[in-house]
């Protein structure tokens, strides 16, 4: 029997009901390199993770695209407002549209290109190259410090422990090194 041809399947009662056409699974597996740290899917030829920058494992993993799909739970719109030199005209609003956004300082020699580059706001290099992740998890925005040298703080007083997910609320002030930011989170109506 040809594997790609649809076949007729009998009902539960032994064939007395109307036959149902069953199509075979025609999805193909695509090889990928999965980051052991952030579980991002990378292309086979890449040696470093495109999200967190860690070195990828040498073996590629076959992913069945039909097995599991990500479901957007409680869509939110998030914006990170980076505060400049003090006046509101120097502030920068960055829309956080990815599921995982890397916050840090760009470094062309180390091939680090964060989603939110704080280099222009950090003249003394207090922000690490890979400072923190802002992630979407179960309808919330959470923050993860990536073992930064000068720390990540929420609302000035709470210093985050490395690799501990901390949920953020609308209006929380987040400090990366000495660079102050404010997170704005809005729910999106499904209507």
130 contact partners, CB below 8 Å, separation of at least 6: 52, 53, 102, 104, 112, 114, 146, 148
Q: What is the pLDDT along the chain (191 residues), one digit of tens a residue?
A: 555 555 555 545 555 555 555 555 554 445 677 777 666 777 777 888 777 777 887 755 454 544 444 444 445 789 999 998 766 677 899 999 888 999 999 988 888 899 999 999 998 999 999 999 999 887 789 999 999 999 999 998 889 999 888 999 999 999 999 999 999 998 754 44
C-alpha 155/C-alpha 148 separation (Å) is: 17
C-alpha 45/C-alpha 43 separation (Å) is: 6
pLDDT at residue number 2? 55
pLDDT at residue number 18? 55
pLDDT at residue number 110? 83
Asked if residues 62 and 31 have their Cβ atoms less than 8 Å apart, the reply is yes
* DSSP-derived pairing of the beta strands 173-176 and 132-137: unpaired
pLDDT at residue number 105? 93
pLDDT at residue number 190? 43
- pTM of whole model > 0.85? no
CA distances from 145 to 20, 64, 163 (A): 53, 31, 6
pLDDT at residue number 165? 87
């Amino acid at each position: 029997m040809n594997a790609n041809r649809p076949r007729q399947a009998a009902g539960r009662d032994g064939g007395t009901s109307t036959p149902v056409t069953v199509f075979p699974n025609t999805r193909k597996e695509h090889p990928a390199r999965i980051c052991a740290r952030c579980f991002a899917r990378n292309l086979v030829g890449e040696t470093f993770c495109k999200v967190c920058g860690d070195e990828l494992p040498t073996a590629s993993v076959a992913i069945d695209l039909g097995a599991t799909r990500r479901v957007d739970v409680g869509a939110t719109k998030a914006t990170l407002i980076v505060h400049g030199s003090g006046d509101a005209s120097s502030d920068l609003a960055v829309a956080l549209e990815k599921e995982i956004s890397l916050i840090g300082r760009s470094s062309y020699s180390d091939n680090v290109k964060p989603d939110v580059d704080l280099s222009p706001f950090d003249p003394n290099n207090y922000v690490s190259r890979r400072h923190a992740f802002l992630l979407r998890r179960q309808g919330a925005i959470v923050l993860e410090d990536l073992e930064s040298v000068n720390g990540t703080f929420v609302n000035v007083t709470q210093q985050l422990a490395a690799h501990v997910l901390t949920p953020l609320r609308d209006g929380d002030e987040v400090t990366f090194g000495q660079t102050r930011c404010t997170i704005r989170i809005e729910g999106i109506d499904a209507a």
